[in-house]
């Protein structure tokens, strides 16, 4: 345990020292403030990657591969718990929000089956939905909040809400019908394994597209013909919220900052029974991209509820709906994402 204390202190000294050096080198009158912060972020991120890419922190600091066992600082896999260690260090190191956010980024345990680590390039989403909402969040001063990820798919890959958990510590609900996808080890959200429609307790059968083998990396998992795939019972939005309030550790607030809605062609039915009178949602991102009757129904509902269809650049298959009082024209900008290698299109 004594060795491990030295280890924690060593990491603290390393990060604190690096930050002081960066400040002394970069914080000069001739360096624009924006460029200064970009340089700090880049160099601190490189430092964190250097630490993460070693087998353990202990190996880096003491050239040892087996740190102390049965410690609160270790994970169940007997590896240093980077999140806890970082939190401990930051309690004693009064550093900037920038450093704090960098230290919360994911670790190698979060690599997918192909070796790609979601979030290392600044986004977990398929098309920068999360970084766009991050700008909305900052524009409106939402330092903490609540989200609903309806049709969450995976906890980190192609996730519109993972950043809110990992970087900002928000609470929320993740609805994903597939029970074989693990959320507990990486996410804070309350997980509900039910398919969503506008009705509760309808019997449905969920499977991959007809003629295709089940692929856990594919987002295509829909309601199919009876007897095909896995039998499940549906749930609608009012019953989902009531169930979470009654049976989980959290209570859904009356004001919800963000809802991500992608339930494979059932978006219109979900919205048709949404508890609009009881809960206010600031922002919806809804997969809704064509001129089908379903898509038209979604738009009709959102307009009736006084939402503004935001002219977000590079929207892809999504529509961005926001209450007008939370909108600003500066929020129109959003990049188009080119997916990294081995990211499964995420």
* 184 and 52 belong to one structural domain: no
Q: Tell me the pLDDT band of 91, cut-offs 50, 70 and 90.
A: very low
Tokens 């089956």, located at residue: 113
Q: Tell me the pLDDT band of 334, cut-offs 50, 70 and 90.
A: very high
109 within some domain: no
DSSP code for 300:
H
The whole-angstrom separation of Cα 133 and Cα 129 is 6
pLDDT at 151: 94
117 within some domain: no
pLDDT at 244 over 90: yes
Count of structural domains within the chain: 2
Q: What is the CATH number of the domain that holds 312?
A: 3.40.50
Average pLDDT over residues 70-96: 50
pLDDT top residue among 218 and 269: 269
Are the C-beta atoms of residues 146 and 120 closer than 8 Å to each other?
no
- Which of 84-93, 173-182, 203-212, 327-336 has the largest mean confidence? 327-336
The whole-angstrom separation of Cα 83 and Cα 88 is 9
The model's pLDDT over 115-157, given as tens digits with 9 standing for 90+, comes to 788 888 899 999 999 999 999 999 999 999 999 999 998 899 9
The whole-angstrom separation of Cα 134 and Cα 240 is 25
What is the model's pTM? 0.68
pLDDT at 111: 75
Q: Tell me the pLDDT band of 57, cut-offs 50, 70 and 90.
A: very low
Which range among 219-223, 302-306, 342-346 shows the weakest confidence by mean pLDDT? 219-223
pLDDT at 80 over 70: no
* 133 and 70 belong to one structural domain: no
**Which domain does 291 fall in, by range?**
129-332
The whole-angstrom separation of Cα 203 and Cα 206 is 10
Q: Tell me the pLDDT band of 343, cut-offs 50, 70 and 90.
A: confident
Are the C-beta atoms of residues 187 and 155 closer than 8 Å to each other?
yes
Q: Per-residue DSSP letters for 33-59? A: HHHHHHHHHHHHHHHHHHHHTSS-HHH
Residue 53, φ and ψ in degrees, nearest 5: -80, -10
pLDDT at 85 over 90: no
* 305 and 171 belong to one structural domain: yes
């Amino acid at each position: 345990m004594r060795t491990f204390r030295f280890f924690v202190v060593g990491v603290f000294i390393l990060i604190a020292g690096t930050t002081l050096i960066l400040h002394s080198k970069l914080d000069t009158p001739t360096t624009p403030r924006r460029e200064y912060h970009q340089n700090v972020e880049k160099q601190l991120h490189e430092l964190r990657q250097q630490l993460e890419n070693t087998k353990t922190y202990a190996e880096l600091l003491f050239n040892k591969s087996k740190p102390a066992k049965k410690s609160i600082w270790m994970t169940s896999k007997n590896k240093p718990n980077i999140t806890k260690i970082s939190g401990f260090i930051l309690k004693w190191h009064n550093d900037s929000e920038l450093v704090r956010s960098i230290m919360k980024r994911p670790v190698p345990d979060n690599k997918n089956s192909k070796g790609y680590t979601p979030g290392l390039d600044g986004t977990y989403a398929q098309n920068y939905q999360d970084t766009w909402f991050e700008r909305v969040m900052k524009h409106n001063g939402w330092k903490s909040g609540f989200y609903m990820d309806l049709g969450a798919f995976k906890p980190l890959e192609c996730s519109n809400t993972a950043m809110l958990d990992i970087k900002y510590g928000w609470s929320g609900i993740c609805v994903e019908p597939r029970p074989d996808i693990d959320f507990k080890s990486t996410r804070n959200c309350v997980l509900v394994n039910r398919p969503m429609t506008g009705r509760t307790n309808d019997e449905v059968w969920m499977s991959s597209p007809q003629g295709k083998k089940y692929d856990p990396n594919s987002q295509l998992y829909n309601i199919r013909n009876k007897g095909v795939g896995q039998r499940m019972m549906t749930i609608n939005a009012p019953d989902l919220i009531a169930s979470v309030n009654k049976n989980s550790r959290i209570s859904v607030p009356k004001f919800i900052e963000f809802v991500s809605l992608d339930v494979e062609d059932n978006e219109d039915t979900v919205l048709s029974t949404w508890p609009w009178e009881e809960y206010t949602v600031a922002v919806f991102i809804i997969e809704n991209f064509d001129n089908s009757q379903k898509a038209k129904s979604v738009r009709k509902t959102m307009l009736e509820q006084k939402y503004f269809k935001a002219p977000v650049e590079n929207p892809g298959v999504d529509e961005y709906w926001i209450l007008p009082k939370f909108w600003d024209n500066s929020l129109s900008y959003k990049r188009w994402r080119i997916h990294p290698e081995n990211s499964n299109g995420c």
